[in-house]
Amino acid sequence: MKFGTKAIHAGVEPDPSTGAIMTPIYQTSTYVQKSPGDHKGYEYSRTHNPTRTALQNALAELENGKHGLCFASGMAAIDAIIKMLKPGDEVISTNDLYGGSYRIFTKIFQNYGIKFHFTDMSDLSKVEALVNENTRMIWVETPTNPLLNIIDIKGCAAISKKHNLLLVADNTFATPYLQNPLDLGADIVMHSLTKYMAGHSDVVMGAVIVKDDELHEKLAFIQNACGGTPGPQDCFLVLRGIKTLHIRMERHCENGRAVAQYLINHPKVEKVLWPGLPDHPSHQIAKEQMRSYGGMVSFALKGDRMEDAIATLERFRYFSLAESLGGVESLCGHPASMTHASIPSAERLKAGLSDSLIRLSVGIEDIEDLLADLEQAIG
C-alpha cells in the first residue's frame, strides 16, 4: 500500500460481530473466560485491549515495523524504554533535546545510576568519542525540539551497530509520513502520539515501535508490569486521527514552507530555523532522510530581547499561545520558559536555545490568515 492508503487501512478490519467499519471502543476492564486461562486473547485491559491492539498494529505498519506498543503519554513511552537499562549503563543523546526528555533523564533515571551524555550530534565524531564499555544506547531526536537540527540516523545506526548499542529515534516531529527511522537503522522508534499522529489536540498518548521480537517482549513486559497504558477512548481518537495524517502533513509542510519564507524576508527577524531552507546547516541530511520538512518553524527577533519575543507572542491571534504542537490549529510558544524550562539556562544557551526564541507549530489554516497574523504580531 502507498502511505495514504496505509494510513486509512493499516491494522484495522471491520468489526466481525456487526460489520462496523470503525474499530469499536472496547470500554471494559476485564473479559469473561471459559475456563482459567482459556480466553479469546484478552483477560485484563491493562495487558491487552482490542481497541489498543488495532492502534498498535496500525502504528507498526505505518513505521514499517513489526510490533507497536501504546502508552499513556510520550513520557511514559520514554520511561519504558529507559527501564530496559540498569544502574551503571550510559546513554548518549543530543544537547538540544526536548525538555521533558532531558528532565526524565537527569532528574529521574540519573538518580538510579544511569548516566547520560548530551552532545552536538550534528558531528558524529563527538558521538563516537563518548562511547565506552558502559554505553548501551544512543538516543536521537530529529528534527530536534525546538532548534530543528537534523541528526543523521544512518550515521548513528552505523555507530550503534559497530558498538552493539541500541539506537532509539524520537520521530514525533517528523511522523512516519516524513521519515521511517527503522528503515534507516534504528532499533526503536518512539512517538508522542499527542502531537501530529492524533493531530487534533484532544488526546495525550505515546508509542514505541520495533521490528525485533526480543525487544518487543521486553517492552511489552514493562508496559504491562508498570501499567502506563492508555484507555480505549484515547486509542480510538488516535486511530481516527491517523486516517488523515497524510493530508494533514501535506498541508503542515506547505504552510511551514510559506511561513519560513515569509520570516526570512522580514526586517525584524534575525534568524529562521526550518530544515527546508537551503542554508540550514543540516539541509542536505534532511533532504536525504526526510520526504519533506514539516510544519515546525522557530525564529528569533533582532536584538535578541526576551521582552520583544513575549510581546510578540501575546499579540498573536491565530497562533494560539500554548504548550504542545502538531494539531490542526497553529500554536506558538516560548521554549525557554515553557517546554524547555527544566533545562538549565547555561545548557540551553550552550546548545543555541536563546531566551528570545519563538517556536511555531504551523497548522492547516488558510496561509493568508497565518501570514497576516505574523505581520501584525511582529509589527
Residues with a catalytic annotation lie at 46, 98, 170, 195
Q: Within 13 Å of residue 266, how many CA atoms lie on the same side as its CB?
A: 23
**Alpha carbon distance 142, 151 (integer Å):** 6
Burial zone of 224 (CB within 10 Å; 0-12 exposed, 13-18 middle, 19+ buried): middle
Q: Is the dihedral of CA 212, 213, 217, 218 positive or negative?
A: negative
DSSP alpha helices (H): ranges in the chain? 3-9, 50-62, 74-82, 99-103, 124-130, 153-162, 175-178, 213-226, 232-242, 245-264, 283-289, 306-315, 345-351, 367-378
- What are the Cα distances from residue 277, in Å, to 254, 365, 369? 13, 22, 22
User: What distance, in Å, lies between the first and last C-alpha atoms of the chain?
Assistant: 47
- Residue 93 has, within 13 A of its CA and on its CB side, a CA count of 25
The alpha-helical segments, DSSP class H, found in 85-180 are 99-103, 124-130, 153-162, 175-178
d(CA 136, CA 122): 20
Q: Give the number of other CB atoms < 10 A from CB of residue 307.
A: 10
